[in-house]
């Protein structure tokens, strides 16, 4: 844990003590993954006064003259830069609704040239994870190539306190869940904040297909935020969320 001079310790159950304001860094492969997977949990943390930073690995380049990928072309943009300008604007709205601070790494994912290697992603993430207290990272199902590349990078980095999160909506219909997972404790207000944040990405959600849209529309998404149940970071989160 990062203990700084500004930190004031807070007693919590089980005899452990943590800084009054803990820094949580959520590593998000794309510009909607953190909100979809952990929106309510992030809101539960920020309303308790903790700091949440969302570091998005594939946040694109807003000045890119490249043509948009097949995925981004649905936005009727002339360039990839225009598409990512709009996608980042959506992310800013969603992050504000959750009380989180977005950080955007200027990479393109699959569908574009020059996709970064896992080693390059690790080098970019390292400064953002160096001073965090807890890193929340994509853990399962990691089916998307970009998500798997981020997970590989984090295997190299191994932040001190890491908690893996289930990737929503994909985890709702992926077979063969492995390991122990537990749902986070969130309130109705947290769920409402998540819904508001997720709706900021409506252009993306439209492209999820029927299953993804149904998951968002039926509030299963709001009730299924899960974290890996083991490790010091998981204990800390359980203590904080109660």
Task: Please give the residue ranges that form the binding site for Zn ion (CB under 5 A).
Answer: 29-30, 33
Cβ proximity to Zn ion: between 23 and 166 the closer is 166
Question: Shortest gap between Cβ of 144 and Zn ion (angstroms)?
Answer: 5
The residue of the chain with the least Cβ separation from Zn ion equals: 30
Least distance in angstroms from the C-beta of 147 to Zn ion: 6
What are the C-alpha distances in Å from 90 to residues 42, 43, 136, 199, 201?
Answer: 17, 17, 21, 9, 6
Q: Which is nearer to Zn ion, 23 or 227 (CB)?
A: 227
Nearer CB in complex with Zn ion: 29/102:
29
Query: At its nearest, how many Å lie between Zn ion and the CB of residue 136?
Result: 15
Report which DSSP code applies to 226. Answer: E
Say how far apart CA 154 and CA 161 lie, in whole Å.
12
Helices (H), the chain: 33-46, 80-98, 118-129, 145-157, 170-173, 188-199, 202-205, 209-217, 220-223, 232-241
Alpha-carbon span 78 to 72, nearest angstrom? 10
The CA distance from 168 to 178, in Å, is 15
8-state DSSP, 155: H
Nearest to 139 by CA among 119, 162, 109, 120: 162
Q: Which helix (H) or strand (E) holds 136?
A: strand 134-140
Q: How far is the CB of 32 from Zn ion (least distance, A)?
A: 7
In the bound complex, what is the minimum distance in angstroms from residue 1's beta carbon to Zn ion?
29
Kindly tell me which of 30 and 194 has the beta carbon lying closer to Zn ion: 30
| Residue closer to Zn ion (CB basis): 30 or 164 | 30
Q: Which CB sits closer to Zn ion, 138 or 159?
A: 138
Q: What is the DSSP letter of 117?
A: P
Nearest to 171 by CA among 128, 148, 140: 140
**Min separation Cβ 98 and Zn ion, Å:** 17
Is 57 or 163 the residue whose CB approaches Zn ion more closely?
57
| Least Å from the CB of residue 185 to Zn ion | 25
């Amino acid at each position: 844990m990062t203990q700084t001079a500004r930190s004031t310790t807070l007693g919590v159950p089980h005899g452990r003590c943590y800084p009054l304001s803990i820094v949580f860094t959520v590593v998000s492969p794309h510009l909607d993954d953190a909100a979809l997977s952990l929106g309510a949990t992030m809101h539960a943390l920020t309303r308790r006064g903790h700091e949440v930073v969302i570091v998005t690995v594939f946040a694109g380049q807003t000045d890119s003259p490249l043509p948009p990928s097949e995925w981004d072309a649905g936005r009727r943009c002339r360039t990839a830069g225009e598409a990512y300008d709009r996608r980042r604007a959506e992310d800013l709205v969603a992050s504000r609704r959750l009380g989180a601070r977005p950080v955007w790494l200027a990479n393109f994912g699959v569908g574009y040239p020059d996709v970064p290697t896992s080693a390059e992603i690790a080098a970019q993430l390292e400064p953002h994870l160096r001073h965090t207290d807890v890193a929340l990272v994509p853990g399962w199902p990691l089916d998307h190539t970009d998500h798997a590349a981020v997970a590989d990078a984090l295997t190299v980095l191994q932040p001190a306190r890491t908690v893996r999160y289930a990737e929503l909506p994909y985890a709702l219909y992926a077979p063969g869940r492995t390991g122990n997972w537990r749902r986070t404790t969130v309130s109705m207000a947290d769920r409402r904040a998540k819904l508001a944040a997720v709706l900021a990405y409506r252009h993306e959600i439209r492209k999820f297909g029927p299953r993804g849209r149904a998951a968002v529309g039926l509030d299963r998404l709001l009730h299924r935020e899960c974290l890996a149940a083991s490790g010091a970071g998981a204990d800390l989160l359980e203590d904080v969320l109660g």
